[in-house]
Amino acid sequence: MSEGTSLYFDPSETVRGIQQLLVSDKKKIAFFFGAGTSFAGRTKGLPYVPAIAEMTEKVETEIDRKYTSALADIKAELANTPIGFNVETLLSNIEDKIRIIGLGTLNNLKKNDFVEFENHIKDIIRQKVSIHEGFDENTTKQLVQHDFAKWIKAADRKHAVEIFTTNYDYLIEIGLESLDVPYYDGFTGSYEPFFNATSLEDMDYLPRQTKLWKIHGSLGLHESKLNYGNKIIRKNSDSEVLLVYPSMLKYSNSKKMPYAAYMDRLYSFLKQDDAVLFICGYSFGDEHINERIFSALSTNSTSHVFAFYYDVVKENDGKKYMLTEDSKLVQIATENRRVSVLGMRNAVLGARRGTWKLKREPDKNDTLNVALYFDEDAPFNDIGMSYEKKGDEFWTGEGEFSLPDFVRFVIFLKEMIHDNEWENVDNG
C-alpha cells in the first residue's frame, strides 16, 4: 500500500478493458510517443536516443573547447535555481542571452559567439539523434519499433492507426518501412516532398494508411530556398534542419508550420467520437501539448487518454515511485475522468488515485498471462519478511504494473495477435 491509500485497482481488469479498446473496430486508436520510447531497447547493445540526462552529459563531454568556460559559467548560474541544469535549460539560457546581449559581452562571449555556441549544441543533439546511420536488416529487426510496426500490420484495423511523436529520429519510419507498412506523414512529392497542411485537416484523407505526425519536427525537414514560395520540404541533408529543440523557445516555435498543423491534428483526433489516445514515454512536461490534449477532451465526452507513465527512479536504497499524491500528473488526472494514468505502483482511474493490487492469485485458466503486464511482489511471512513462496504462504497481490515500459507494452500488443499471423507479417 502507498502513502496510506486504501483504494486499490486490479491490473487484470484494467488490462482487459484496454484489450477490448484495441481490438474494437468502433474505436479510433492513436498513440503518442515521447522520448522514453526512443530510449527503450528490446536488445541490449542496440543504438538508442539518449534521454535528457544522458544527452546533457554528452553535450558537456563533446562541447568544443572554446565554449567550455562559458558552459561552466552557465552551469554554475543554473545549478542553484529551481529549474536546474540540463540541455534544455542550457539552450534556454543561451537564447535569453542572445536576446538581451546587444553589443555587449556575457560569459566572455559576444552575440555572434552565443549564436555559434547554440548551433554547436544543436549539432551535437542532431548527431545523437541520428542513430539510424549504419542500420542493417538484423539491427532493424531487433528494434522495438519494428515489433510495433508488426502489430500495426497484423492488426489490420478498420480505422487506420495514428501515431503522434515528439521524437526527431527515424526509428518509427524504419520499423514501418522495413515491413512495407504504408503510412502518411503530411508530405507529398518525389524530388523534394513538400508539406501539405490542408491534408491534415481532412480526417478521412487516405483512410486506410497509418498516419505519422512528428509534432516537434524530424531529421531532414527544411525550409525551401527556391523562389516558388515558403515551403517546408524534406530532403537528405543535416544542415538547417527544422526541429523544435528542447528549450523555452519550443513553445513559440510549436506555433509555426509544420508543428502547428500537427498540433491541430492531435486536437482534432481527440474531438472525434470514440477516440482513444495511448501515451507512452511522455511525462506531460510540455504545456503546449498538454493544453491541446485537455482542451480537446473538454469538448468531447466519449474520447479517452491512457497515459502509461514509467515513474520508477532507482536510488541507492531502492526504488522511488514518482506518481505521488502531490505530483502534477496526478493533479491533472484527478481533475479529468477521461484521463487515466497508469504508473508502475499506482494509477489514477476515474479521477481517483489508488494502488495496483490483484483481487485473486493468478492461475493457468487466465486468458492472459498476468506476467505479461504485472510483476508480483514476493510473498511475505508473518513477520513481514519476503521469501520464496511455498504452499499457502501469505500473498499480497501487489506488485509493479509493467506496461509503462515501452518494450513490455509492445510485447503485450504482440500477444493479442495469433502466433501464425505474427510470423507471417515478416514474410509479407
pLDDT in tens, 94-111: 988 998 888 888 888 999
pLDDT tens digits, 324-342: 999 989 998 999 899 999 9
Instruction: List pLDDT tens digits, range 191-218.
Output: 888 889 899 999 999 999 999 999 887 7
Instruction: Determine if the pTM surpasses 0.75.
Output: yes
pLDDT at 382: 56
Tell me the three cell numbers of residue 284: 506531460
State residue 27 phi and psi, 5-degree precision: -90, 140
- Annotated domain spans of the chain: 8-47+136-420, 52-129
Mean pLDDT across the chain: 84
Does the structure show a pLDDT above 50 at 1?
no
Angle at CA of residue 236, ends 231 and 242, nearest 5°:
50
- List, for residues 280-328, the tens digit of each pLDDT value: 999 888 888 999 999 999 887 789 999 999 998 887 777 899 999 999 8
Dihedral of CA 385/390/396/400: which sign? positive
